[in-house]
Each structure stands twice: as structure tokens, then as C-alpha cells.
Amino acid sequence: MKALVHYQNILNSVFRFGTRQPLELMDRLWENIRTSGLEVYISSRGLDTIWREVSSHSGIDVANRVRANIEDALRICPPVSLQQVRDFAHRYGGNSYEEALEIYSAFLISAQCILSSSPQAFRSFDLTEIPLSQNSDLSFLRNYRAPNSLPVLLIGDLSNIWFLASYVGSNSNLSSVNLKQWFQGNRFEHGWCPVEELNIESCVKPAYRFRNVRRGKIISLGSSEQQGLDSVALIVAVSNPLREFNVTIELISTNVGDILPDFLKLEVLDADGKCVEQEISNRDSAIFMEIEGAESEPFSIQISYKNFVHQENFLL
């Protein structure tokens, strides 16, 4: 599961814990986030803002260390242009650039939620607000988020992220898509649906007649400038004829007849994050890949284009 942390939360924590070396409390915080299993992001502009504020307050050396620790513990959203943010705000009715930039960054990476201690900073988009605490009911996150929907606003300090990480840790299907469960009727993780509901012309079929299933998910790319393309469909077809699983992967434009942008990369990563298969589009209408694996074997699919990177984790 993915969550974007409002940069102001991190900045508040940095100044609350102090910025003098060796920053033990913040180091402990980064380590806990890194090992939580929750994918935690920060906007690229938010990271730059933190560096400027810490640099002004405590000097460049401390600012560089804080930035390095953040980059090591958190994932960085791809940078966005002023026009992209304005178009997003116009589409969803927001009237604040700062607010739109944070929400759009979360939207691009398909984050289910934004964590902020300042809900008033996100009011113009009318996000669903839920206080984050030990007693928060987060079960709705199992099936959230639908394509083109806005993230939920979780209200809390940076330290409250442990409640979210704990929930994700006890519900492993939130961080990995369990392909075995796809054979158990209409069980879908957030964003995944039958391919027929996507209204696209997929060529992928399961490799075997029996014991097979096919699902798709819309992935918003970080750029809409090339050929008017702003999203692609990721199609995964799974067959389980005997003991091993056969997985066919397709990446296709959501606009019928359009080609994929050049240099759009599709990769399969093993459990250690090492690339084992790779395809790069070159005037292609779709790119394909096929892999096999044993039950309970983990792998990931990574899609990258320019500065945009999106990763889906799976369990066979």
C-alpha cells in the first residue's frame, strides 16, 4: 500500500526532535519506516522545501544529512509541472496550488492516502478525512482506490504512521497482490478488475484452458505530453494448471489504436529487487512478458517512463 506524507509533517518532526548531530531520534524514525513494509512517499517539491528550511535554520551540512536520510527511508514522487498541477486542480475543483501539488503527487503514484497533521491545508478538494490513531478502522483501504479517485486524508502526526504500518503488516494483501486469491471468485485488490470492465482490446489470454484468470489495472503515468497519453493498462493473466504458475503480462494504451510512448519500460523484479525480465516500447501498441514461478514466490512488476516509476508487488 502507498501513502504520501505531507512534507510539513516531516519538517515539524525534524525541528521537534532537533537538527543537531547525530539526529538519533530521526535516524530511528527513518529506520522504522524503511522496514515497515508500507510504501511511504514524499513529493519532490516537499523534499526541496524541507532542505531549504533546514538549511536556513541549521546549515547546509545538516540539511544534506536530513535530505539523504529522507531519500533513503522514503520514496520520492516524480516532479510535476505547473501546468499539470493547474490542470489537475481545474479538473477536481481545488483552488490552492500548494494543496493541488501534494494531492496530484499522491494521485500520480496511486497512493491510497495522504498523512497530514494540517487538514485545513487540504480542504478545497473535499477529501474524505479520517483521524489516524490506534483505534482507527482502516478496513476500507482493502478495496481502495478506484482509478481516477482521490486519496483519503489521514489526520495525524508523522509518528502516527505506525498505526498505518501496523495495519498493513497484519494485512499483507495490502502490500502485495496475492495471485492465488484471484482463483477464489470475485476477490480483487484495490484498483484491479476484470479486463472487460476496462474497455480496452487486450491480446493477453491465460496460457491454459483451465484454472486461469485475467485482471487489469489502470496506471496513470507521470506525463501526458507525448501523443496525448496519460495512462496505460497493466494486464496480468495467471494460469495454474499443475503446481507452477504461468503469468502473462501486458502493458497497453488505454486509448484504442494508440501506441505506447517510446522508452516506456516494463520490468519484472525478483524478491531481492533484481531485474530478471525487461521490455522497452519502441513504436509498439503493447509490450508483453511471460514468467513462471512456484506457489508463494514473490515478484514485482515495475513500470517506468521518464521520471515516473510505478511498482506492483505480487505473491504467486
Q: Rounded to whole angstroms, what are the CA distances from 66 to 91, 141, 156, 181, 240?
A: 35, 31, 21, 41, 47
Q: Which of 35-39, 122-126, 153-157 has the lowest mean pLDDT?
A: 35-39
pLDDT above 70: residue 225: no
φ and ψ of 88, to 5 deg:
-65, -45
Mean pLDDT score, 268-294: 85
Other C-beta atoms lying within 10 Å of the C-beta of residue 264 = 24
Q: What is the pLDDT of residue 7?
A: 93
Q: Which three cell numbers stand for residue 314?
A: 505480487
Q: What is the pLDDT of residue 146?
A: 44
**Which residue is listed with cell 500500500?**
1
Mean pLDDT score, 284-310: 83
Identify the residue with better confidence: 142 or 253.
Answer: 253
**CA–CA distance, 230 with 242 (Å, rounded to integer):** 39
Identify the residue with better confidence: 137 or 71.
Answer: 71
**CA–CA distance, 253 with 276 (Å, rounded to integer):** 24
Mean pLDDT score, 239-255: 80
CA-based nearest residue to 175, from 142, 214, 147, 215: 142
> 214: part of which helix (H) or strand (E)?
strand 212-220
**Which residue is listed with cell 525480465?**
277
> 40: part of which helix (H) or strand (E)?
strand 39-42
Identify the residue with better confidence: 75 or 4.
Answer: 4
Q: What is the pLDDT of residue 15?
A: 80
Q: What is the pLDDT of residue 115?
A: 92
**Confidence band for 17, pLDDT divided at 50, 70 and 90:** low
Percent of the chain with pLDDT strictly greater than 70: 78
Q: What is the pLDDT of residue 22?
A: 41
Q: What is the pLDDT of residue 126?
A: 83
**CA–CA distance, 234 with 192 (Å, rounded to integer):** 9
Give residue-wise pLDDT tens across range 195-212.
888 877 777 665 555 567
Percent of the chain with pLDDT strictly greater than 90: 15
Mean pLDDT score, 166-183: 69
Q: Which three cell numbers stand for residue 225?
A: 505530453
Q: What is the pTM for the complete model shown?
A: 0.57
What's the per-residue H, E or C state across 241-254? CCCEEEEEEEEEEC
**Confidence band for 27, pLDDT divided at 50, 70 and 90:** low
Q: Which three cell numbers stand for residue 210?
A: 483451465
103-124: buried (b, 16+ CB within 10 Å) or exposed (e) per residue? bbbbbbbbbbbbbbbebebbeb
Q: What is the longest distance spanned by two Cα atoms in the chain?
A: 65
pLDDT above 70: residue 113: yes
Give residue-wise pLDDT tens across range 96-107.
888 999 999 988
Q: Which of 165-174, 221-230, 233-242 has the lowest mean pLDDT?
A: 221-230
Identify the residue with better confidence: 242 or 298.
Answer: 298
Give residue-wise pLDDT tens across range 28-60.
666 666 666 678 899 999 999 999 999 998 899
What residue ranges do the domains of the chain occupy? 2-174, 177-315
Regarding the domain delimited by 2-174, which CATH topology (the fold level of the hierarchy) does it fall under?
Rossmann fold (3.40.50)
